[in-house]
Structure 1
Amino acid sequence: MITQRVDAPGRGGHDVEGLLDELYATPPTDFVSRREELAAEAKADGRVEGARQIRAARRPTLAAWAANLLLRSEPAESQRFLELGRALRGAYRSLDADGIKELSDQRSSIVSALSRQAAALAREAGHRLSGAAQQDVVSTLRAVLADQDAADRWAAGRLESALTPPAEFPSGIAATAEAPQKPTRAPTAPRSSRTRAKDELAKRRRQRQEQLAQARKAAAMADQQFRRQRAEQADADASLQQARNLHA
């Protein structure tokens, strides 16, 4: 849940929302001390309710902090990831098994790339993620793609713990497969009714095809962007290592 703005900016030039944003980008090891500093600053500015909100903030786990850091350090990529989630959720509701498998493969590739990027950001900030923490980041990103509430929570940038994705990606297929309808003999419909039914069926097919095309395009663009970022990071790492070797 996103905290409502209740205080105007004080003498320090920051409103409480800005202070909370800063706090949740602070490494967990420094969270408590920084929380007390920001709460004291808010109280000194006369923002008593704001100070209470800051003191009520809970320290995030290392994985949640890395996910928050990813959102704030890579806003453009994070926005594309959120848009990809919306496209995928829409597409999964009307795809067949083959279409779902194709998008699942792309989804896994993108989540893996973005989780490695979060780990790199955490490492640059002085905190290496353990295997368990890295898996929690993966879980959080999978949840963001699969669930709108999880996406909203991550987009707020103040996760306190890792998010858990649903057991299955949202889809209307499972319910249909679990409860097959027995064929029943329906009365013969007038020709005009049969024509309307065929038109409606063709319309739904076109909509499914358009949704699949949009999801494929979004996934391909996101994957291309992440691959380019990884290549740029590899070049930067190689240049840094070369400079270190020259000065060794």
Structure 2
Amino acid sequence: MSTRLDEIVDELYAGAPDAFVTARDAAVRAARQDGDRELAAQVRALRRPSAAASLINKLARSDADPGLVQLADLGARLRQAQSDLSGAEMKALGAERNSLVRVLVDAAVGDTGASGPVRDQVTATLTAAVADPAAERAVCSGRLVTALQYSGLGEVDISAATATALPTSSPTASAASSSTADAALAREIRAARTALERARSRQHAAETARQTAERVARAAAEALDAATASAAKAAEDTAAAQTELAQLLQAAD
């Protein structure tokens, strides 16, 4: 895609859908006046975005809203949980997805007065973006022309969803990938710290048990020594008493 066409596409899909046709026709005339018939034909072929697609394009082009990066990150984590067959994590991430999609729908619709069906299409499109990386790229391109729908199985059909062909990756996807990698590293660090703390706890418990055993052993040894001394003393006393008794008996005879 030429740089000029790229600029025109961005300008058109950043605007209001009601002004799209007028702005597109003006761009076509300008290209013809410049003698660039190929550019004029390419611009002429650009399709007007639906109301839902226009709202999502506006959201995607908002630098102040990190929501789509969060959505892409969530999608990556949810797909990993599905791959790992982690039911508990899938359930938790599903709830997180529903919450985030609601927030993003509110941000996209705002005070535009969009109808219920349009709001439903925005919801369906953002949900599809979580399910399929290609759908996520379409949403984040800012060049969506129609709403997306995820059936619950397989891939999302994006064959005619965007004004131009999509790149293989997007800045949002890259940011989400980085965010996912950072999150995975953080989980590994937390797990390592937990394992270290548990090992230290076991070591402390073992040391405490060893010290207790040593105290018990010393006490037992001291008690044994005392008992041995007492027994020896008792034996001496018994022998002395027997000797004294024998002497008394002999004297009596």
User: Normalising by the residue count of structure 2, what TM-score does the alignment of the two structures yield?
Assistant: 0.57
What residue number does 1:104 align with?
A: 94
User: 1:197-208, aligned counterparts within 5 Å?
Assistant: none
Work out the percentage of aligned pairs sharing the same amino acid.
Answer: 34
What residue number does 2:45 align with?
A: 56
1:168 & 1:99 partners in 2: Cα distance? Answer: 19
Give the SS at the match of 1:88.
helix
Q: 2:75 aligned with 1:85, yes or no?
A: yes
Amino acid at match of 1:108: N
What residue number does 2:152 align with?
A: 167
Residue deviations 1:4-31 (CA, integer Å, cap 9, x gap): x13x5xxxxxx11111111112222111
2:148 & 2:61 partners in 1: Cα distance? Answer: 17
What residue number does 2:59 align with?
A: 70
1:43 & 1:92 partners in 2: Cα distance? Answer: 51
Q: What stretches of structure 1 of length at least 5 have no aligned partner?
A: 9-14, 171-209, 218-248
Tell me: higher relative CO, structure 1 or 2? Use CA pairs within 8 A at least 6 residues apart.
1
Amino acid at match of 1:41: A
| Contact 1:146 1:169 (C-alpha < 8 Å) held by counterparts | no
Asked which structure has the greater CA Rg, the reply is 2
Amino acid at match of 1:97: G
Amino acid at match of 1:33: T
| Contact 1:71 1:78 (C-alpha < 8 Å) held by counterparts | yes
User: 1:134-153, aligned counterparts within 5 Å?
Assistant: 134-153=119-138
Amino acid at match of 1:99: E
**Match 1:34 to one of 20, 23, 31:** 23
Residue deviations 1:112-155 (CA, integer Å, cap 9, x gap): 101110001xx3xxx42111101100100000110122112122
2:90 & 2:76 partners in 1: Cα distance? Answer: 15
Amino acid at match of 2:108: A
Residue deviations 1:171-226 (CA, integer Å, cap 9, x gap): xxxxxxxxxxxxxxxxxxxxxxxxxxxxxxxxxxxxxxx99x74x98xxxxxxxxx
User: Normalising by the residue count of structure 1, what TM-score does the alignment of the two structures yield?
Assistant: 0.58
Amino acid at match of 2:132: D
Q: What stretches of structure 2 of length at least 5 have no aligned partner?
A: 156-179, 188-253
Structure 1 residue 60 displacement after superposition:
1.1
What residue number does 1:226 align with?
A: none
Give the SS at the match of 2:61.
helix
Structure 1 residue 168 displacement after superposition:
4.9
What residue number does 1:25 align with?
A: 14
Give the SS at the match of 1:73.
coil
1:72 & 1:29 partners in 2: Cα distance? Answer: 18
Structure 1 residue 165 displacement after superposition:
1.6
